[in-house]
């Protein structure tokens, strides 16, 4: 049974990856927006922002990586919506394949595409002067956090992909996720913000995630941020997965 499920996932993943390979502009578009933001903030606003770090790009990059993930998952909802509208999901339901494989194929495709975008953004960051003396374990921890966040937000994206009534509606859910880092420690320290905004910024998931990644890359003590970040990621993942699966069963019943 396990082998059957894995085989189904692999076949459908191959189908989704072929779609991605035929339209590389998807990955390019996903990376362009975060890179444009990074260029804007480093070279236009960076000189006016005090963060207490050696280079603003070092402070900024963790937040840009989160925005990269938020930008990429919109395509998951978009591709799933197109499958729903084309009737291909109904055709899959008539075939002897694991029902969950359809969703997992989209989720795994998102992980692959987003990973490529994240690598591109990091390379551009290096060209802009980003430097880190972090060791292998710290980089693996950063990769683990980014992977878990991507997985969690991708399952969030599955929900509008299944329920949206238009293409715009399928991808519009990502806009709040893209702008959420702006009200966090991603661009400026939270202690520079006015009272109510600061309270929100310090208690939303992006701040804990960004701070944990930043401390790991800067070889600073991480403290409780990494555990808070993991709790947020796992919590979002569990809730989104359960809601997505229930929604999928209702749609395909």
Place of tokens 């960051």: 125
Place of tokens 């209702």: 250
Report, as an integer, the average pLDDT of 203-232.
92
Place of tokens 């990429």: 72
152 closest CA partner among 49, 39, 237: 237
- pLDDT higher than 50, residue 4: no
176 or 207, which is more confident?
207
- pLDDT higher than 60, residue 53: yes
What ranges do the domains of the chain cover? 2-252
Cα angle 124-52-37, degrees, rounded to a multiple of 5 = 30
Report, as an integer, the average pLDDT of 178-206.
91
Report, as an integer, the average pLDDT of 33-50.
84
32 or 243, which is more confident?
243
Asked if 154 and 76 touch (Cβ cutoff 8 Å), the reply is: yes
Report, as an integer, the average pLDDT of 146-175.
85
118 closest CA partner among 67, 173, 75, 176: 67
pTM: 0.86
The predicted-structure confidence for 84-123, as pLDDT tens digits, reads as follows 776 666 565 555 555 567 777 878 888 888 888 899 999 9
Residues 29 and 171: their CA atoms lie apart, in Å, by 14
Q: Count of residues for the chain?
A: 253
Q: 11 falls in which pLDDT band (50, 70, 90)?
A: low
Residues 10 and 14: their CA atoms lie apart, in Å, by 6
Residues 114 and 96: their CA atoms lie apart, in Å, by 30
| C-beta atoms surrounding 99 within 10 Å | 15
Residues 29 and 50: their CA atoms lie apart, in Å, by 30
117 closest CA partner among 162, 161, 150: 150
Residues 217 and 215: their CA atoms lie apart, in Å, by 5
253 or 206, which is more confident?
206
213 closest CA partner among 128, 119, 141, 154: 141
Q: What's the pLDDT at 16? A: 60
Cα angle 56-180-178, degrees, rounded to a multiple of 5 = 85
- pLDDT higher than 80, residue 188: yes
* Residue 46 vs residues 38, 68, 159, 171: alpha-carbon distances, Å: 10, 19, 37, 30
Q: 237 falls in which pLDDT band (50, 70, 90)?
A: very high
């Amino acid at each position: 049974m396990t082998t059957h499920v894995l085989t189904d996932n692999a076949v459908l993943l191959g189908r989704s990856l072929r779609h991605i390979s035929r339209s590389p502009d998807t990955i390019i578009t996903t990376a362009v927006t975060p890179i444009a933001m990074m260029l804007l903030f480093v070279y236009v606003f960076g000189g006016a922002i005090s963060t207490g770090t050696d280079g603003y790009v070092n402070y900024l990059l963790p937040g840009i990586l989160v925005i990269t993930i938020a930008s990429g998952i919109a395509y998951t909802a978009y591709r799933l919506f197109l499958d729903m509208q084309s009737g291909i999901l109904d055709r899959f339901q008539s075939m002897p394949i694991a029902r969950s494989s359809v969703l997992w194929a989209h989720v795994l495709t998102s992980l692959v595409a987003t990973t490529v975008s994240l690598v591109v953004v990091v390379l551009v960051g290096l060209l802009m002067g980003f430097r880190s003396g972090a060791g292998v374990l710290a980089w693996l921890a950063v990769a683990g956090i980014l992977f878990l966040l991507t997985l969690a937000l991708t399952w969030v994206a599955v929900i509008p992909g299944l329920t949206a009534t238009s293409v715009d509606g399928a991808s519009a859910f990502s806009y709040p996720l893209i702008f959420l880092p702006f009200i966090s420690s991603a661009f400026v320290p939270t202690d520079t913000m006015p009272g109510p905004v600061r309270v929100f910024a310090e208690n939303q998931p992006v701040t804990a995630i960004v701070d944990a990644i930043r401390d790991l890359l800067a070889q600073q003590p991480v403290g409780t941020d990494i555990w808070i970040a993991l709790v947020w990621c796992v919590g979002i993942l569990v809730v989104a997965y359960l809601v997505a699966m229930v929604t999928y069963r209702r749609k395909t019943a």
